[in-house]
Structure 1
């Protein structure tokens, strides 16, 4: 059975990526519904079909936009209304330097240390733009609020918004605050299927020089086929509770949380 090309077909149905698919001519159509991967694209001569090429270019443009787009601080502050906030930045002076010098994104700018009030905090949440400010803009506030609802009685430091930030910047922030735990909510490197994926990195006793093996990570948080923020909050709150109880994170803290219940199937009437 031949694979559909770019020939016009008035009965074709749009696929998730915008391609026109005729289920009678395309044997891959039923499989594409289950994955964002680019499978069974077909070809026109020696090249992919025009629709597949345009889809790829659009995905690439979205990924580049996510990397370079600045964090809308005013909109994020509005989403976090009612929560105490601090604003810091790394030693990377601009986006171009940030991308070329990852080491500068891991260091707190000296002028920002005074913005961090030390105390006996159980945890601090750092909202960091990372490699996708788009992800932070869309998902960080809802994930944070859902997590806070699950941590009654915790001494939570003011929420820190960090720009031009890498994961390890949270170590210096947590150390300056005197927090027992630091949870960095950061935009992940965009891919060609998702450009707004959020990650969380949890570190016990944060301090400069912590290694990645000393952290726990929750990744692929987004609403278009990833881990929804509400479920991510459940997992994060569980990890934070266990980390504080055991006084550790990383390879020594296993994700033994009971499986979350699956959503109820839709009710079909008729």
Structure 2
């Protein structure tokens, strides 16, 4: 009998390169039971990520070790349900938080803002590791302040930065969870922050998680945006990411 070559499923190779759902197979007109249960589990994990709380005590203790001006703040959104229904409330600080910032008399160059966004777990598990590698170098050149914000959205960094007189802000925020990445963190940077800025004024570093952009990669890009923002005196769509310069930074001993 003539031997016949068995053609392998092309999706098998793709499965080694991505966590996306491909080549799931079928049982009649439905997905296999294992794939159906896996989908439901990942959907539950994504929902849990949205409602995960910031670990305020853990983060506040860790941030205090940097011995920098530190502000514990809240947005106008009183809880996660209101946060989801009213995005506008997550972009502005509530009254008491504004009063806290008004009492600050210290000069600030850079404000690093940490907030929950749509996956506080992503922030809880990653942000301190980023800051431990970032702050020692940045503090050699800049006066830095830290802010930890409950129920915040990206634009809340504009109000905080403006109130503190900062020239540059970076906000670390939990990203909208996907079915394969419920713990993804993003970083948004802005030069000359002020209330009313829109997204074209920011630069974004996205998809920071174990199966996505690594922390060292994210730090190199963040450092690039900071340096280029100061050189050009702007941020946003006009600031182009030069991957060749990022590649050169791999062999640079410091990130400042």
Length-normalised TM-score, structure 1: 0.83
Give 1:241's aligned residue.
227
1:177 matched residue in structure 2: 164
Structure 1 position 137, deviation (Å): 0.5
Query: CA–CA distance in 1 between the matches of 2:246 and 2:159?
Result: 33
Alignment: residue pair count: 239
Q: Specify the SS of the correspondent of 2:183.
A: coil
Q: Which deviates further from its counterpart, 151-160 or 52-61?
A: 151-160
Are residues 1:95 and 2:80 paired? yes
2:123 matched to which residue of 1? 136
**Match of residue 105 from structure 1:** 90
252 and 77 in structure 1: CA distance in 2 versus 1, 3 angstrom threshold: same
Write the deviation string for residues 205-263 of structure 1: whole angstroms up to 9, x where unpaired. 1110001001111000111x211112211110121011112110001211125243799
**Aligned equivalent of 1:159:** 146
Q: Which of these residues, 70, 88, 103, is aligned with residue 53 of structure 2? A: 70
Counterpart in the other structure of 1:122: 109
Which stretch shifts more, 76-85 or 238-247?
76-85
Whether the aligned pair in 1 keeps the contact of 2:224 and 2:246 (CA below 8 Å) is no
User: For residues 26 and 256 of structure 1, do their structure 2 counterparts lie closer, same or farther at Cα, with a shift above 3 Å needed?
Assistant: closer
SS in 2 for 1:80: helix
| 2:129 is the alignment partner of 1:146 | no
**Aligned position for 1:59:** 42
Q: Which residue of 2 aligns with 1:201?
A: 188
The alpha carbon displacement at 1:88 in A equals 0.3
Aligned equivalents of 1:232 and 1:79: distance in 2?
Answer: 20
CA–CA distance in 1 between the matches of 2:162 and 2:249? 38
Structure 1: gaps (5+ residues)? 1-23, 264-270
Shift in alpha-carbon separation, 1:234–1:68, aligned structure 2, 3 A: same
The answer to whether the aligner puts 1:260 opposite 2:247 as a matched pair is yes
RMSD: 2.0
The unaligned stretches of length 5 or more in structure 2 are 1-6, 251-256
Matches within 5 A, 1:9-88: 28-83=11-66, 84=68, 85-88=70-73
